Amino acid sequence: MGWETWIIATLSRTLAYGTPLLLGTLGEIYTERSGVLNLGVEGMMIMGAYAGFSTAYTTGSPWLGIMVAALVGGAFSLIHAFASITLKANQVVSGLALTMLGLGLSGVLGRSWGGKPLPVPISKITAPGLSKIPFLGPILFEGQNLIVYLSILLVVVMWYILYRTRIGITIRSVGENPATADSLGINVNRVRYLCVLVGGILAGVAGGYLSVAYRPAWTEGMTAGMGWIVIALTIFAFWNPAIGMLGAYLFAALYHLSFRLQPWVTPEFLKAMPYAFAIVVLIAVSRGTLQKRMGAPAALTLPYTRGEE
């Protein structure tokens, strides 16, 4: 294999593997921007993977599978929303509980589905003409599926909403200073519910993508810690969808290189990088003005009660 083919193959796989990371991260960015930390991403993703696979297998429609994955992810996130927003329970514990529940439930429900290949995965697209572009063509326009492109479109849309629209200002103000937002007539809890729901839906789609498109089969625990990489990525991205995209592909590349560079670099070292990066980023933005501009939303993990500062 020549160098160019090698790089093209790596980048193409990076794009494919980065997509579920990107989807999950976009969702978690919105969730956290509204002031809610959801550590249940892994649980929502694996439920999405199970629901997507079983639906696609039964109905023969992979897209219906993705839709059900979105629904199940969304429904799961509402458990966290109810516990942490309505009951004002501890967000850390609630998120962990969601992950345990999701891993357990998908393991129990999915037992009889294991090992069956999905006969109808989401089809891969090769754009005529575009795929002939040297170098970029085979990476971007050959053998990827529609979700890959939709997720990139979603980055633009979600970035625009967050930074250039009223909705975005509302979300950010709820996460930074809920009391002020409340005094301006914003329904803090409703915004938070919706943002948690967005996070759940996208995590569900990410899971569905894994089991219906990326590796069309169901395996217990198939998300294999991806949900935690999403948590790391959200920090790495400074809660910004555009940087989230860069991060998702960077982490996906590291993951792929951990296999491809095996003879030269310790794979475990590359696999541990995303987690180490998250800590390094937190250290880098831990000071002063940087913390204010690029750090975590000020009200992250704090439930909001009117008249309580």
Partner 1 sequence: MKPLSLFRVERRPVPSGRVVLLVSILAILAALVVAGIFFQAYGVSAIRAYQLIVKGALGSKLGLAETVRRAIPLLLCGVGLTIAFRALFWNIGAEGQLLLGAVAAAGVALFSGLPDVLLLPAMFIAGFVAGAFWGLIPAWLKAKLGINDVITTLMMNYIAIYLVQWLIHGPWRGPTMRGFAYTDKFPSAATLPTISWTRIHWPTLLLGLALAVLAYLLIIRTRAGFEIRVVGENPDAARFAGISGFKTTLLVMLISGGLAGFAGVGEVAGIHWRLLSPTHISMNYGYTAIIVAWLARRNPLVVIITSLLFGVIMAGGDVIKVSLGLPFQLVNVFNGLILFFLIGSEILMRYKISFSLRRQ
Which residues are at the interface with partner 1 (CB under 8 A)? 37, 39, 43, 79, 83, 87-90, 92-94, 96-108, 111, 220, 225, 228, 231-232, 235, 266, 268-269, 271-272, 275-276, 278-279, 282-283, 286-287, 296, 301
Tokens 């980065």, residue located? 18
Closest by CA to 47, choosing from 217, 206, 230, 199, is 206
Q: Are 181 and 167 in contact (CB under 8 A)?
A: no
Q: Is 88 left (phi over 0), alpha (psi -120 to 50) or beta?
A: left
* Residue 74 to residues 71, 77, 243, Cα–Cα distance (Å): 5, 5, 24
Least gap, CB of 158 to partner 1 (angstroms): 22
Residue 180 has which token pair? 């002020």
Which amino acid type is present at position 207? G
Judge contact between 170 and 295, C-beta under 8 A.
no
Cβ pair 29, 298 in contact under 8 A: no
Beta carbon of residue 50, minimum distance to partner 1 (angstroms, whole number)? 11
Structure tokens, 68: 């059900």
Phi, psi of 306 (to 5 degrees): -60, 140
Nearer to partner 1, 179 or 186 (CB): 179
Whether the CB-CB separation of 259 and 267 falls below 8 Å is answered with yes
Can you point out the beta strands (E) in the chain? 125-126, 142-144
Burial class (CB within 10 angstroms; exposed 0-12, middle 13-18, buried 19+) of 195: buried
Q: How far is the CB of 113 from partner 1 (least distance, A)?
A: 12
- Specify the DSSP class assigned to residue 60: S
Closer CB to partner 1, residue 78 or residue 186? 78
| Burial label, 289 (beta-carbon count in 10 A; 0-12, 13-18, 19+) | exposed
- The residue (of 149 and 228) whose beta carbon lies closer to partner 1 is 228
Minimum CB distance to partner 1 smaller for 49 or for 154:
49
Taken in order 78, 99, 45, 233, the sign of the CA dihedral is positive
Considering the complex, state which of residue 155 and residue 285 has its C-beta at the smaller distance from partner 1: 285
